[in-house]
A = this chain, B = another copy of it.
Amino acid sequence: MSLEISKEFIEKIQTLIETKDDKALTYLLADEHYADIAELLDDLSFDQAIYIIKLLDSDKTSDILIELDEDTREKILENLSIKEIAEELEELDTDDAADMVAELPEERQARVISAIEDEEHKAEIEELLTYDEDTAGGLMAKELVKVYETWTVAGCLRRIRGQAKDVKRVHSIYVVNKEEQLIGRLSLKDLIIAKNDQKIGDIYISNVDSVHVNDDGEEIAKVMAKYDLEAIPVVDDNQVLLGRITIDDIVDVLKEEADKDYKLAAGITEDVEADDSILELTRARLPWLILGLFGGLGAVLIMEGFEEALKKYKDLFFFTPLIAAMAGNVGVQSSAIIVQGLANDTVKGSLFNRLLKEIGLSLINGFVLGIIVIASGYLMNLDLNFSVTVAISMLCVIIVAALIGTFVPIILDKRGIDPAIATGPFITTSNDIFGIFLFFYIAKLILGF
């Protein structure tokens, strides 16, 4: 087991491409997994990658294309003819094929589809393209093993041999009635253990989970993770079996979701990667920085409003970055815990209890941090009265920051907005402004300037 491609291997491939030694190349790549070849292509120049794709058989290149990064795949497909793309699609499962077609420019889509020779495959891909990509319909594949309740075990095994050739992995055998409605499931294991002359109707398990074709991908991921399912059938309004979703697609959904939340928390909106262009990265990052900038300008205005304090308590102004940092850190912590709790359904109990808990937590944290501030103030020769004022104001800022961090995501979630957007710069910036204002306001109340 190795995840890395060696430099020697890459160089060998590059030399063989230069000398156009197709025979040696085909031989060398024959035993490589498509996921490894996809990685190899990332390390080659674009022309070299195209060379490999055109050289290998479409049963292998189709899987390689699916593994590639979306940008790379798009560029390669631009260099393939309509017929070549159609050949790749013939080899792919319907879900991957539909995803690949959807990425093509609109004017090519129809031409590529009509170039697919297998009529059934073509119709299935066309059907999948009608569903929204984030729904069960957009995730499912049409490939599945389906048996009728009236069949016998022996007949079933015979016919499964035919169907199974088109299905890479048989997770479950779905049992339907003559109206094509899903009524149950069987595993290959059940079928092997059963006697040959038994009827499917007598041995199938009627307790079968299914999802509706319009159900949301994230919800399906939760269901499959909760019930430890490796595949789930998809049905329409009339319980008619339309397709199935497998766990590997769900692993991708979970991963994308986690990546998106992580990026949002860091103030990165679009789906960018370290290797994207400077322009793409700027588009994903700059809006959040501008938000932060306006927050900072707001803080300038607030401090100008408290300018008269400069004469007697200039140290207050030295403490503003500290207050802003505490407000930001506490807010982000609170919101991260809530956002994760909402995602995992562990946020339970009343809002009032949560309020009490956050206040309690903030009091403990604020008290400990306040002691440190007072002790540090002593070491820095600050007036005790002043240090205590800073500590008390900071405590109040921490409580408010925790409450904002907790309740903004909860409110967003109740309104159907992704609460993950609340973490990161949004919470930090609003807490900066709130925190600095509150800090000066409370200091003014206590010190009376």
Which A residues are closer than 8 A to B by beta carbons?
Answer: 1, 3, 31, 33, 35, 42-43, 69, 157, 160-161, 164-165, 167, 169-170, 187-189, 192-193, 207, 209-212, 215, 219, 222-223, 225-228, 230, 247-248, 250-251, 254-255, 258-259, 261-263, 265-268, 272-275, 278, 281-282, 285-286, 288-290, 292-293, 295-297, 299-301, 303-304, 307, 310, 314-315, 317-326, 328-330, 332-333, 335-338, 340-341, 344-349, 354, 357, 360-361, 364-365, 368-369, 372-373, 376, 380, 423-425, 428-429, 432, 436
Q: Are A192 and B247 in contact (CB under 8 A)?
A: no
Nearest B residue (CB) for A257: B258
With A281-B361, A289-B329 in contact, is A247–B251 under 8 Å at CB? yes
CB-based contact B254/A297 at 8 Å: no
B residues less than 8 Å from A263 (CB atoms): 336-337, 340
A333 & B285 in contact (Cβ 8 Å cutoff): yes
Q: Contact between A361 and B282 (Cβ–Cβ < 8 Å)?
A: yes
Specify which of B31, B265, B349, B428 is in contact with A265 (CB 8 Å cutoff): B265
Copies of the polypeptide in the assembly: 2
Of all chain B residues, the one with the shortest Cβ separation from A31 is B207
A423 surroundings in chain B (CB, below 8 A) = 266
A322 near B337: Cβ-Cβ < 8 Å? no
Interchain CB contact under 8 A, B223 and A3: yes
Cβ contact within 8 Å between A310 and B314: yes
Please, which residues of chain B bring their CB within 8 A of the CB of A228?
Answer: 35, 248
**What chain B residues lie within 8 Å of A289 (beta carbons)?**
326, 329-330, 333, 365, 369
**Chain B residue contacts of A348, Cβ below 8 A:** 42-43, 275
Q: Which of B42, B222, B292 contacts A329 (CB 8 A)?
A: B292
- Hey, which chain B residues are within 8 Å of A330, CB to CB? 285, 289
Pick the residue among B273, B282, B292, B297 that contacts A364 (CB under 8 A).
Answer: B282
- Determine how close the nearest CB of chain B comes to the CB of A195; give it in whole angstroms: 11
CB neighbours (8 Å) of A303 from chain B are 317-318
Prevailing SS type, chain A contact patch: helix
Quote the shortest CB–CB distance from A420 to chain B (angstroms): 9
Please name all residues of chain B whose beta carbon is closer than 8 Å to the beta carbon of A296 when the two chains form the complex: 319, 321-323, 325-326
Can you offer 13 A-B residue contacts whose CB atoms are under 8 A?
Answer: A3-B222, A254-B255, A259-B340, A268-B333, A274-B337, A274-B340, A274-B346, A274-B347, A282-B365, A295-B325, A296-B321, A296-B326, A297-B376
If A278-B364, A321-B321 are given as contacts, then 8 extra A-B residue pairs at C-beta distance below 8 Å, sorted by A number, are: A169-B187, A247-B251, A265-B336, A274-B346, A290-B368, A290-B369, A297-B322, A303-B317
Which residues of chain B are near A315, meaning CB under 8 Å? Answer: 300, 304
Q: Are B373 and A293 in contact (CB under 8 A)?
A: yes
- Shortest CB-to-CB span from A263 to chain B, Å, is 6
Residues of B within 8 A of A225 (CB): 251, 255
Name the distance in Å between A166's Cβ and chain B's nearest Cβ.
Answer: 11
A401–B42 alpha-carbon span in the complex (Å): 30
Q: A300 touching B319 by the CB < 8 A rule?
A: yes
Give 8 closest A-B pairs by Cβ, nearest first: A296-B322, A266-B336, A274-B341, A258-B258, A303-B318, A299-B321, A188-B188, A321-B324
CB of A158 to closest CB in B, whole Å: 10
Contacts of A365 in B (CB 8 A): 282, 285-286, 289
> Which residue on chain B has the smallest CB distance to residue A425?
B329
